[in-house]
Amino acid sequence: MRTDNIADSYPRVNMNRKREHTDMNIRLYREGDRHRWDRYAMESDEATCYHLIAWKDIIEKSFSHRTFYLLAEDHEHAIRGILPLVRLKSFFFGNFMVSLPFFNYGGICADDDVIRDRLLQKAIQLSQEDGATHIELRHMYTIDGLLVKTAKVSMRLSVSHRSEELWDSFSPKLRSQIRRPSKEGMYTKIGREEELQSFYTVFSNNMRDLGTPVYSKEFFRNIMKEFPDSWICTVYTRTGQPVASGFLIGFKDMLEIPWASSLKQYNRYSPNMLLYWSTLMFACEKGFSTFDFGRSTPGEGPYRFKEQWGARPVQLYWHYWLKNGVSLPELNPRNPKYRLAISIWKRLPVSMTKLIGPTIVKNLP
C-alpha cells in the first residue's frame, strides 16, 4: 500500500549492486565497541534513537531477549555500518528476529548498499543457525530485493522554537478543543520518574481496554535510566487524577511520543488535546524542530487525529527475509486468529493484565 502526499525523503537502496568490500569484517558487537558504535549512530543521517547501544541493555534487562548486534568494520577498524537485531522466541508466536521490536524504527544503517547487503547476509546466516523463520527490518527507506510492507506511516510535524507561532497555525476548531479540558479544571505536569506511576496507571488501563497486553512498568523505568532526554507528560483532573499521559523521547532534533494513552471515561473532556498541545509546547521550549506523533495507518482515526495538528506522513518500510515456505507474518490485532483473545483480554481486571501481560507482550514485536 502506498499513500499520496507522503514526505518520503529517503532514497531507494539497490541491494543488487556487485561492488565488493573485500576488506570489510562483519561481526557481533563487543562491549569495547560501545562508544564507537554510538558515535557512528550519532553521526549517521540514517540512524534513529533506536540504533543507540543503550537499547540493547534496555531490551535484555526488561525482556531477557537474546540480541545480535552486528557491525561492519573496515581494515582500519572504523565502523561502516550497524544492524541491531533482537531474537523473539516463544511457543505461541514462533522464533524470529526484529530490528527493532516494540518501536517504530531500526533496521540496517550503513555507509552504502554493499555494506547493507553484507550486514543482511550475516543476519540471515545467524537466523538460519538459530532456527528463525523470518527477519523483520523496520526502515525509513526502501530496499530492492526484499519483501516489504508499507501499510504504516510516521506522522511528523515541523515545530517552531516559538509555540505562539504553532498556536496561530491551528484552526479555530482545534484551538477550541485544546481549551476544553482546561475549562474543566484539567492541568498538565511534565517530569521524569516522579510521573511514571501516573503514566503507567493510564497506560495499563488503556491497553486493557484495547485488548492489548501491557509492558511492565520496569521497562519504562529502564528507558528513563538510560536516556536523560526522556520525559512523561500527564494530564490531571482538578482533583489530581491522571487521565491522559504520554512518554517522550528526544534524539537529535526530534521529539517523539511513542506511547500515549487516555482513560476512555474522560474522552468527552478531550484530555488528549491538552496532552498533545502540552508536549508540542515542550518540544518548542526544548529547541526540537520536529515532533513525531508515532506511526499510524492512513485514513484511520489515529491518522486523522494527528493530521489535524498539521502532521505529515513519512512512509515506513518494513522489510522481510523469509525462510523457505514461510509466509509474511501477521502478528497484529487485525489478525482474525487473535480476535477471541482480544475480546477476553478486554474483560480482565486491570490488576490481572498488569501481572500476566508483560510475559505475553515481550514476544509481540
The values of phi and psi at residue 158, to 5°, are: -75, 130
Place of cell 492541568: 187
pLDDT one-digit tens code per residue, 272-300 = 999 999 999 999 999 999 999 999 999 99
**C-beta separation of 118 from 21 below 8 A:** yes
Q: Are the C-beta atoms of 361 and 208 separated by less than 8 Å? A: no
CB 317 within 8 A of CB 325: no
Q: Model pTM? A: 0.90
Query: Does an H or E element contain 318, and which?
Result: strand 317-322
Q: What pLDDT score does 3 carry? A: 35
Q: What is the structure's pLDDT at 341?
A: 84
Q: Is the Cβ–Cβ distance between 249 and 192 less than 8 Å?
A: no
Q: Place 145 in a pLDDT band, splitting at 50, 70 and 90.
A: confident
Written as one string, the DSSP assignment of 284-310 is: HHHT-SEEEEEEE-TTSHHHHHHHTTT
Residues counted in the chain = 365
The pLDDT of residue 161:
78
pLDDT tens by residue, 310-332: 999 999 999 999 998 788 877 67
Phi and psi at residue 236, to the nearest 5°: -115, 150
Where do we find the cell 570489510?
Answer: 24
- Going by C-alpha positions, the residue among 135, 240, 132, 124 that lies closest to residue 186 is 240
pLDDT recorded at residue 342 = 81
Cα–Cα distances in Å, from 359 out to 73, 79, 238? 36, 36, 36
| Cα within 13 Å of Cα(278), Cβ side | 26
Task: Tell me the pLDDT band of 335, cut-offs 50, 70 and 90.
Answer: low
Over the stretch 226-271, which tens digit does the pLDDT of each residue have?
999 999 999 999 999 999 999 999 999 999 999 999 999 999 999 9
What does the angle CA 291 – CA 54 – CA 127 come to, to the nearest 5 degrees?
105
Taken in order of first residue, the domains within the chain and their CATH numbers are 25-151+317-329 (3.40.630.30), 160-288 (3.40.630.30)
Check: CB of residue 307 under 8 Å from CB of residue 174: no
Task: Note the pLDDT tens digit of each residue in 164-223.
Answer: 999 999 999 999 999 999 999 999 999 999 999 999 999 999 999 999 999 999 999 999
**For the chain, what is the mean pLDDT?**
91
The pLDDT of 53-81, averaged and rounded, is 96
